[in-house]
Amino acid sequence: MKKIMHPYDITHETDMVEPLDYNRRSRLKDVDRSFKAEITNIIRLTDMEKLFQIRMVNDDDWKRFSFLPGQFVMLELPGYGEIPISFSSSPSIKSTIELCIRRAGKVTEALHKAKRGAIVGLRGPFGTYFPMEQMKGNNILLIAGGLGLAPLRAPISFVIENRADFQNVYILYGAKNPSQLLFDYQYDQWNRIDDITLEVIVEEPDKNWIGPVGMITKLLDDITVPADETYAIVCGPPIMFKFVCNRLNAMGIPMQRMFVSLERRMHCGIGKCCRCNIGSSYTCIDGPVFDFWTVMNLKEAI
Amino acid sequence: MLYKTIDKQDFKDLIDIHLRDVECIGPQQVATNAKGKPVYQFLPLNAFDDMTLHYDTTEYSAKTYFLPYREVMSTFHFTDHDWTQEINYQKHPRVIIGLHPCDINGLLKLDKVFAKEFHPNPYYLSRRGNTLIIGIDCQKPCEGGFCASVGSDTVTHGFDLFLTDIGDRYFVKVGTDRAFNAINKVNVRDISEEDRKLYLAKRNQFEASFTKAVHIENLPNLLDIEFESDVWKKWGDKCLSCGSCAMVCPTCYCYGVTENMSMDFTKSEKTKQLYSCNLYDFAQVAGGHNFRPGRDTRLKYRYYHQHRGFVDTFGQPMCVGCNRCGRVCLAGINPTDVIHDIQMEHGR
């Protein structure tokens, strides 16, 4: 007998047959498919944070993969779960991507036990990015508090690689105490670059600390920049960027030239699960990078 | 739109043809509630007479057939130090009979989220593509229903066939070519002037019999201004944070994903489960911080998303006015009451 209704197989759609690329946002694809990737290197940063260097197993996937500073990826640990993590490395490095991850929950706990060579999954990239092109020709303030240096390291790397395109560059970093400082092995390298000022401040110094002590806003006391030729990127806990951005605003920098990166719980990364909603925005598609004016106008953002 | 009429017996024949070949879902009485009223649900049919097409409303919406409460998104199979990811989409054809306009409008709103240009979702689209939808007009407004206030009491698309009872026959809107081919397997007629008049009379009578009305036009503005209002505290204190409202809602689509390892460690299922923004840990992040720890903030967020957030993104509210959440709420929280309260606050 002739079938009255034929099964519709979505996997035969032309979009679905194309190689997977999450940058093609309007195209139909296996939205849950993770690119298989290998942990090639694990660098211990502090007791709580490790830097994971990861590379996709399939070369074709890897060649198609590209991201921008500020975007994030969904990192899959089969059997444990999937978590959103910001890129911590420069997009121009073609050998690996780097993800700086704090041991904070079930998945990250498992990840911290993983060994080099472990196979994980990557889904992405997702979200908005810092508008680095738009910032070119200006002074730039790169400000991070605590774990905020992880996402900030991507624009820092971009600025260093394209040093000629920017005027004065300031990297300001604050942490609770010296043992929590991330990427401390890179400070000397950043500081030696012409016209890059690096300042690190801690709230609770130990006996070996010789740098400044206090809140991150203190570092702004010594900085004078022409307000109309300056952009700022601020990453850190909400309470920190609220103080920093208000301070920058008082210095005359327009709120639309300050960019922050927000964090929320996420289960999909593609604007479906609603877990990351802030007011009427999705952190995963309207963010995670927002300008400060938008953040001020979002309900419950800070 | 093509309009036809079909005798009720011929419609039964049409469904019988489908019943032989594919899974058919329809509204069935499953129980009687405390007030002695029948309780209906959309369930698979064995025979045409299993369903009650003149039902008033179902307890749950039909969204579960498009967004199942639990769905395995993918399965990881483990070998030594490696794994493979297996993904399957639902691909068996299905007919859903008896969807009311609220359910069809609900699907149209879900389409905006899952079927349009931003990361279209194959799980949803596969189910949508495999489902023939036969809708039917309500006999009269259901208890507390305010669909007319949110423009969800009529449908012009989003279905394959849409029926209106005009006595011994149905007035049929034919929405798709596959439905056109299907109905030509039985006797259908072009509409007559009398059919047209009967249909319009039926619609007029229906539209005049609403007892609930809600003005939603000012809500996007109002919800923003009244974000700190005490009204939220009042309703939040009643809310039990059980998530029943989201479960029965035709448009609530929030979900959570968990991974479950098999007992022998050979595979792990990545499972999506519909969630509710009223549940405590909805916005809790690793490390323990909760962005919406209070019941009032979570209840408020649900209204904010439906009547402000969704409007910002898609130009229309998410709510279809079916009042399922109002009927199911254990604490007696009714959407019309909450909205009126917010508007009263405004008028003070």
Residues 208-227 of B with CB under 8 A from A: 224, 227
Model confidence at A2, pLDDT cuts 50, 70, 90, reads low
Do B122 and B233 have their domain in common?
Answer: no
Model confidence at B29, pLDDT cuts 50, 70, 90, reads very high
Model confidence at B119, pLDDT cuts 50, 70, 90, reads very high
How many domains, chain B?
Answer: 2
Do B193 and B287 have their domain in common?
Answer: no
> What is the pLDDT, as a whole number, of residue B312?
87
In this predicted structure, the answer to whether residue A1 has a pLDDT above a threshold of 70 is no
A10-52 confidence digits (pLDDT tens): 999 999 999 999 999 999 999 999 999 999 999 999 999 999 9
A247–chain B nearest CA distance, Å: 25
> What is the pLDDT, as a whole number, of residue B123?
96
Spatial CA neighbour of A152 closest among A141, A168, A166, A165: A141
User: End of a domain among B175, B208, B241?
Assistant: B208
Test B275 with A108 for CB contact under 8 angstroms: no
To test the contact with chain A by mutation, choose from B85, B94, B119, B177 the residue with the greatest count of A C-beta atoms within 10 A, namely B119
Distance in angstroms (rounded) separating the CA atoms of residues B267 and A78: 9
Model confidence at B343, pLDDT cuts 50, 70, 90, reads confident
* Interface predicted TM-score of the whole assembly (ipTM), two decimals: 0.91
Tokens of B156: 């012009």
A80-116 confidence digits (pLDDT tens): 999 999 999 999 988 999 999 999 989 999 999 999 9
> What is the pLDDT, as a whole number, of residue B346?
57
Model confidence at B331, pLDDT cuts 50, 70, 90, reads very high
CB A144 within 8 A of CB A173: yes
Tokens of B183: 């109905």
Do B182 and B292 have their domain in common?
Answer: no
Do B7 and B122 have their domain in common?
Answer: yes
> What is the pLDDT, as a whole number, of residue A297?
87
**What is the pLDDT averaged over residues B123-143?**
94
Model confidence at B21, pLDDT cuts 50, 70, 90, reads confident
Do B140 and B246 have their domain in common?
Answer: no
Do B102 and B150 have their domain in common?
Answer: yes
Instruction: Give the containing element (helix H, strand E) for B272.
Output: strand B267-274
B255-273 confidence digits (pLDDT tens): 999 999 999 999 999 999 9
**Residue B214 forms part of a structural domain:** no
Test A272 with B312 for CB contact under 8 angstroms: no
**Residue B262 forms part of a structural domain:** no
Do B186 and B234 have their domain in common?
Answer: no
Q: What percent of chain A has pLDDT over 70?
A: 99
Spatial CA neighbour of B139 closest among B102, B100, B168: B100
Do B97 and B124 have their domain in common?
Answer: yes
**What is the pLDDT averaged over residues B175-201?**
92
To test the contact with chain B by mutation, choose from A4, A34, A268 the residue with the greatest count of B C-beta atoms within 10 A, namely A4
- Find the residue in B nearest to A114 (Cα): B81
**Residue B81 forms part of a structural domain:** no
Do B152 and B248 have their domain in common?
Answer: no
> What is the pLDDT, as a whole number, of residue B289?
87
In this predicted structure, the answer to whether residue B348 has a pLDDT above a threshold of 60 is no
Distance in angstroms (rounded) separating the CA atoms of residues A257 and A248: 10
**What's the domain range around B333?**
219-252+281-347
pTM for this structure?
A: 0.93
Test A263 with B270 for CB contact under 8 angstroms: no
To test the contact with chain A by mutation, choose from B291, B302, B304, B310 the residue with the greatest count of A C-beta atoms within 10 A, namely B291
A40 CB-contact burial (10 Å; exposed 0-12 / middle 13-18 / buried 19+):
middle
CB A138 within 8 A of CB A110: no
Domains (range + CATH), chain A? 10-126 (2.40.30.10), 132-297 (3.40.50.80)
Residues 226-285 of B with CB under 8 A from A: 227, 253-259, 261, 265, 268, 270, 275, 277, 282-285
**Residue B260 forms part of a structural domain:** no
Test A10 with B261 for CB contact under 8 angstroms: no
**What is the pLDDT averaged over residues A173-201?**
92
**Residue B74 forms part of a structural domain:** no
Give all strands (DSSP E) within chain A, no chain letters: 35-44, 49-56, 72-77, 81-86, 97-102, 119-126, 139-145, 169-175, 196-202, 230-235, 258-261, 277-278, 281-282, 289-291
**Residue B40 forms part of a structural domain:** yes
Residues 13-72 of B with CB under 8 A from A: 17-18, 20-22
A120-169 confidence digits (pLDDT tens): 999 989 999 999 999 999 999 999 999 999 999 999 999 999 999 999 99
β-partners of residue B173 are B3, B162
Test A78 with B85 for CB contact under 8 angstroms: yes
Test B119 with A104 for CB contact under 8 angstroms: no
**Residue B267 forms part of a structural domain:** no
In this predicted structure, the answer to whether residue B347 has a pLDDT above a threshold of 80 is no
Do B179 and B297 have their domain in common?
Answer: no
B42-53 confidence digits (pLDDT tens): 999 999 999 999
